[in-house]
Structures are given as C-alpha cells and as structure tokens.
Amino acid sequence: MKKHLITGLVILLPIALTLLVLVFLMDLLTAPFLGIVHGILTFLGSNILYLQNHQIILLFLSRIIVLLLLFVLILVLGYLGNKIFFNWLLQKFHRIMLTIPFIKKIYKSIRDLIKTFFSEKGSIFESSVVVNFPFEHTYMMGFQSESVPSKVTDRVPELKNGKTVFVPTAIHPTSGFLVMMKEDKIHPTEMTTEEVLKFLISAGLFVPKDKHITDDKAPN
C-alpha cells in the first residue's frame, strides 16, 4: 500500500510541478493584456461563437491568443529592428526615455543588464567549479562567471588572471555570494549547470551519475 502510494507520488509530482510552473509563467506573461482580449472575446463569444456560458474556455482561449500575439509582436519588432528607418526611431525612443527623470535610472540599468545578457554567447556561466568556501578546509560548488574587472585588478594585481565565481546558497539557489578568486584556487568540475543546481536544490541528496565521476582528482 505504502509502496504504491510513493510510486504514484513519484509519477504524479513531477507532472504537477511542471504544470504549476507552466501555468505560473503563462499567467505572468498574459496577465497585463488578459483584460482587453478577454473583453473582446466575450463580446465576440456572446454574438458569434455562442460561448457565453463557457467562461473557462474563454479565459483559456484569451490566454493563448495573448501568448501568440506576444510572440508575433516580438518577432515583428525584431524584424523591424534591423531596418534602418525603424532603428532610427528606436534610437529616438531611447533618447526620450533617458530624459525622463526617475524613469531614466530604472530604464538605463535594466537595458544595460539585458543587453549584456543577450550579447553573451550561450549560458551566462562558463563552467561549474569547486572552490574553498568559507575557508581552506571546506569546499562549495559554484559557477564560474567572467574575468575580474580591470578596475579591481588595477588595485589587486594578484587577481589578474582571476575569475568571478558565483557561490549559490542551498535549496534556494537564487541568492549567494559573488567572490573573486585567483585562478589556481578554482577547481573546475565536469558537472553540468543543471547537475549543480539539482545538487543544491536537493541539499546534496542528488548525486550526478557515475560517468561524470570518472577519475576526477579531488581538489587539494
């Protein structure tokens, strides 16, 4: 009995959690426009489609329409963005945004962040690593990011070849420390980003499959 219950949970939970995340994302993306589309659809629904008694179907339909419209809008914007005239318009728009007090601060920071994130090739983190944290005898998993900025290496020459390492906290890997270290203090691992995240979220219960632990020398 207990065995079956657990097997059932193991089958059901991943599906339920995936659905939950998907629904959350869909709600987040469609919420700002849902009112307009839903209004139009209700109007159409009561006059043409005779769906006025099916509120759930209407809501779902309007969510899907919003998602599709968003997708098309992004594509069209991207297509136009590469055209000269539209590009000129965009530059004008940015110029205007940067003159509005208060809003310009938010806009500029977000734009800088997003621009760099997209100009990076592939994932943000180059590789997963093991580092001494917080002191010499303990180790923590982290992600290697970019090189140490030149304004730092100007003052601390020993970090010249160093890297920035993000050391996430466990269970919630959405916060952590950003430490700058010398290269020889950073020990690369063959684990993928997903495997490190799973290790952290499961508080060390998840261990990656054997193929990765080939003949990995323990960092000394």
Partner 1 sequence: MKKHFITGLLILLPVALTIAIVVFIVNFLTQPFIGAVSPIISKYLPLEHNVLFLTPTQIIEYGSQFLILISLFVFTFLLGMVGRWFFIKSLISLGDNILHKIPVINKVYKTSQEIIKTLFVSDKNSFKQVVLVPFPNEHSFVMGLISKESPLICKNKTERDLVSVLVPTAPNPTTGYIFMYDKKKLIPLSMSAEDAIKFIVSCGVVTPDHHEHIKES
Closer Cβ to partner 1, 60 or 79, answer by number: 79
Listed in sequence order, the DSSP H helices in 82-155 are: 84-97, 103-119, 150-153
CB of 152 to partner 1, least distance (A): 6
Tell me which DSSP letter residue 204 carries. T
Joined together, the tokens standing for residue 82 give 């590469």
Could you please report the per-residue DSSP string of 42-87? HHHIIIII--TT-HHHHHHHHHHHHHHHHHHHHHHHHHHHTSHHHH
Positions that interact with partner 1 (CB under 8 A): 35-36, 39, 73-79, 81-82, 90, 97, 103, 106-107, 109-120, 124-125, 131-136, 143, 145-146, 149-152, 154-156, 159, 164-166, 169, 174-182, 185
Q: Which is nearer to partner 1, 120 or 190 (CB)?
A: 120
Minimum separation from the CB atom of position 73 to partner 1 (A): 7
Please state, in angstroms and rounded to a whole number, the distance separating the CA atoms of residues 161 and 70. 43
Q: Smallest distance from the beta carbon of 207 to partner 1, in angstroms?
A: 25
Give the integer Cα–Cα distance in Å for 124 and 122: 7
For the bound state, the minimum distance from the C-beta of residue 110 to partner 1, rounded and expressed in Å, comes to 5
Nearer to partner 1 by Cβ, of 176 and 208: the residue is: 176
